[in-house]
Structure 1
Amino acid sequence: MKTQDKKIQWYVLAFMSFSTVWGFGNVLNGFIYFNGTQVMLSWILMFALYFIPYALMVGELGSAFKNSGSGVNSWIYETTGPKIAYYAGWTYWACHITYIASKGSGGLKALSWAIFRDHETYDTIPTVYVQLATLAVFLICCYIASRGLNPLKKLTTIAGTSMFVMSLLYIVMMFAAPAINPGADFISLDFSLDNLIPNFNMGYFTSLSILVFAVGGCEKISPYVNKVKDPSKGFPKGIIFMAVMVAGCAILGTIAMGMMFDPAVINESQETFDSYAANGAYWAFQRLGEYYHVGDLFLVLYALCNMIGQFAILILSIDAPLRMLLDNEKTKEFIPSKLLKKNKYGAFSNGIWLVVILSGAIILIQTVMPGAASVLQQLTRLNSVCMPLRYLWVFVAYIALRRAIKRIPAEYRFVKSQKIAYFFGGWCFVVTAACCIMGMYSKDPMTMALNIITPIVLTALGLILPKIAKREREKGMVQDA
């Protein structure tokens, strides 16, 4: 009975996974990049055709490798071997290079809103000064990470939880606002079929990576699969319920934003679009405060939570992915010895220098952008191209697991049929890869160049390092002889 009491109920798993997958920024990006309420159909299709099978495949992987603590790296190692596991670890780390470059800008933007409570102050500062300030913040965070300090993990959790709560409150309070303040300026929504069906044009398909980025990362819930009561029934039930909740929040959040913002105004010009992409979340909470006659209270709370979260995540993103890559005994043979060097604080000092060079280069390249808002919009697109690349390894691991179905048992199986399992693994892989490739396109030559060059450079570097490590070993063997 004691063991049974410790089991997680399916609905508890649903709420746990919901908080790790969803965030307010996903609603904003979907609304802005997909012409307002037209995104709702895209959200439904994304959840039904991509997210649910993705999460259920993660469940099977977690069930099969319940004692593996390194997630995707461990799955790839157990199913394909150490070299492919190295590439999976490298991809996970390399994706964070662009993510790290965006966190400093996001934190400074949040700080500016908390102090000045407007977008003009930050957006009118010359880009070169904003990026130099971003670089300074980034270097300070690298220094903190190099000291082996990781004091912000709990703070990040608190900030993330508060942001999650505010996201839900935004939806509830926005729907209640017309009853509480009927005289306020609300936009009347048109739910006719013509207004709900997206325009399937180039802009639509090149933005799909943003939706993939939004729903990805559910591999974080894999350690809980075998802790669920009756995993074969409880886990899929919990995941489907979570997907329904997330879809509900995406749709209700979109409707709430539609009551505030007019897509026609957002799309008036590229400058206006960039400004909404950079400031839309802050304007949403600012207007919510106006509806409830509390001034900028909600805005300041959101900005402070976001600022703390952005800076704390920046430090964690410098440290944690690097440790996953370099502090793995199973794949160390593919990494040059200089990168494995630790300082007296136990931090990988040369690895952090590599982060400084790569992320710092992205930050400096953006000094030529026309405005601070354009930088944030560009980073959103770059992250939507690079970050989902790590999800590809989840589907590689799943297909490899099903090929080894007789050798590797699992308490929970997504589907019994091997053909259906291969189909979903291949389908999700192709969707992810296609969205990332299409997401590289941009009307702005600078953005498109960055979207293409960054993955190529990071991939090339990942291919070169094992060759350097091999040459080191060969030299060592010659010396020993």
Structure 2
Amino acid sequence: MFIMSMLFVLLAVWAVMHGHHIATKLFNWGAFKPSFSLRYFSTTGLLIFAMSGAELAAPYIVQIRDPKHEFPKAMWMLALMTGFLTIFGTLALAMFFNAHHIPHDFKMNGPYYAFQLLGESLGWGKVLMYIFAVVQAIFMMAQLAVLLDASSRVFAGDVADKYMPKWLTGKKDKTGRPVHSYTLTCGLALFLLLLTGTLPNINSIYNWLLNINGIISPYKTCWVFFAFVMLRMHQDKFHSNYVFIKNKTGALIMGWWCLIFTFICATLGFIPQEAEATFGSAAFNHQLIMNIITVIVLFGLGFLLPWLRKREEKREMNM
């Protein structure tokens, strides 16, 4: 997928150099100046969602040949790749789409439109769009596999016995992965799909599922920053071969700033972002209720599982 994104940027530049008309006038102050509004700030959670996800690599760190040196390099490479594609990918998209007249289904079908327009501009027809569709299908299946596997490995981590009920971590397959944790993950996915059944069309469903990531992912990242702050506050009790910021004061300032900023962005994400969901409308109230229910269920489950484990321990002690 990274190769396809790079290919799009390079071919977009080549097309413009050979006479393609730029849809959005890029190089003026108005093009770069954001329109500050409540709706604008409600999308900042999606920015964090786009940049987060590296924590999914945590269960695989021990499998790296030299975690102390290779893991930091991998994170720097990930940050550089993401930053490059975010900046230059946005500029490339602006060459084919008018920023003031974006298609209503752009979040769902934007990449396909982009490769279709690029192919037509180069005289290749829809070939690039079909190639991208195949790559996208493979990418989505691989991403789903990694998400399920990484989430399940968290349940099987070294603290699973302390915080997870035995019925969730007890039964394991030949590779040591907890079978019931996969079932739980699939059940949560089914819950979200059933919840989206109350939305009017597939475009609304896709947009809501994308937007809910702008709430859940930043809130999840808040726990990462909170853990970072707590570890640095008590760093004398822990040892690590790799330290991101060696100065304790600087690390705490960075950690608290990231935690507070991320929490604010996640909270603003509750505000429905779709054009038809104007404040006070039925669509606005509907999506707001869905956002609240989803957060309560997902994070409520995160508090429920350790509580169930404590009850199990009490029963075991009384037996």
What TM-score, normalized by structure 1, do the two folds share? 0.57
Secondary structure of residue in 2 paired with 1:294: coil
From the two aligned structures, give the one with the greater helix fraction. Answer: 1
Contact 1:382 1:450 survives alignment (8 Å): no
Structure 1 spans left out of the alignment, 5+ residues: 1-162, 267-271
* CA deviation string 1:246-303 (max 9, x = no partner): 434322222211110012222xxxxx43x11111110001111111111211111111
Equivalent residue letter for 1:373: N
Equivalent residue letter for 1:203: R
The equivalent of 1:473 in structure 2 is: 313
1:1-400 map, 5 Å: 163-180=1-18, 182=19, 184-219=20-55, 220=57, 226-227=68-69, 239=76, 246-266=82-102, 272-273=103-104, 275-325=105-155, 327-342=156-171, 348-400=178-230
Secondary structure of residue in 1 paired with 2:171: coil
Equivalent residue letter for 1:168: M
Q: CA shift at 1:390, angstroms? A: 2.6
Structure 2 spans left out of the alignment, 5+ residues: 278-283
Equivalent residue letter for 1:436: A
Change (3 A) 1:334 1:207: same
Q: Which runs of 4+ in 1 moved over 6 A?
A: 221-225
Counterpart check, 1:450 vs 2:290: yes
Q: CA shift at 1:243, angstroms? A: 5.0
* CA deviation string 1:330-362 (max 9, x = no partner): 331322222224266565343333334322121
Q: Distance in 1 between matches of 2:255 and 2:45?
A: 18
Contact 1:286 1:298 survives alignment (8 Å): yes
Count, aligned residues: 301
State, as a whole percentage, how many aligned pairs show the same letter. Answer: 28
Change (3 A) 1:331 1:348: closer
Equivalent residue letter for 2:69: K
Q: CA shift at 1:410, angstroms? A: 5.3
Equivalent residue letter for 1:450: M
Q: Distance in 2 between matches of 1:179 and 1:246?
A: 25
Secondary structure of residue in 1 paired with 2:34: coil
Q: CA shift at 1:306, angstroms? A: 0.9
Q: Distance in 2 between matches of 1:400 and 1:344?
A: 35
Change (3 A) 1:319 1:412: closer
* CA deviation string 1:61-87 (max 9, x = no partner): xxxxxxxxxxxxxxxxxxxxxxxxxxx
Change (3 A) 1:472 1:454: same
Counterpart check, 1:422 vs 2:264: no
Q: Distance in 2 between matches of 1:215 and 1:355?
A: 23
Change (3 A) 1:250 1:410: same
Q: CA shift at 1:319, angstroms? A: 3.4
What TM-score, normalized by structure 2, do the two folds share? 0.83
Q: Distance in 2 between matches of 1:429 and 1:301?
A: 40
Which moves more between the two structures, 213-222 or 303-312?
A: 213-222
The equivalent of 1:5 in structure 2 is: none
Q: CA shift at 1:188, angstroms? A: 4.9
Q: Distance in 1 between matches of 2:185 and 2:246?
A: 43
Q: Distance in 2 between matches of 1:477 and 1:212?
A: 44
Root-mean-square deviation (Å): 2.8
Change (3 A) 1:279 1:218: same
Equivalent residue letter for 1:462: G
Contact 2:219 2:263 survives alignment (8 Å): yes
Equivalent residue letter for 2:8: Y
Q: Bigger relative contact order, structure 1 or 2, given CA contacts below 8 A and separation 6+?
A: 1
Q: Distance in 2 between matches of 1:376 and 1:463?
A: 28
The equivalent of 1:58 in structure 2 is: none
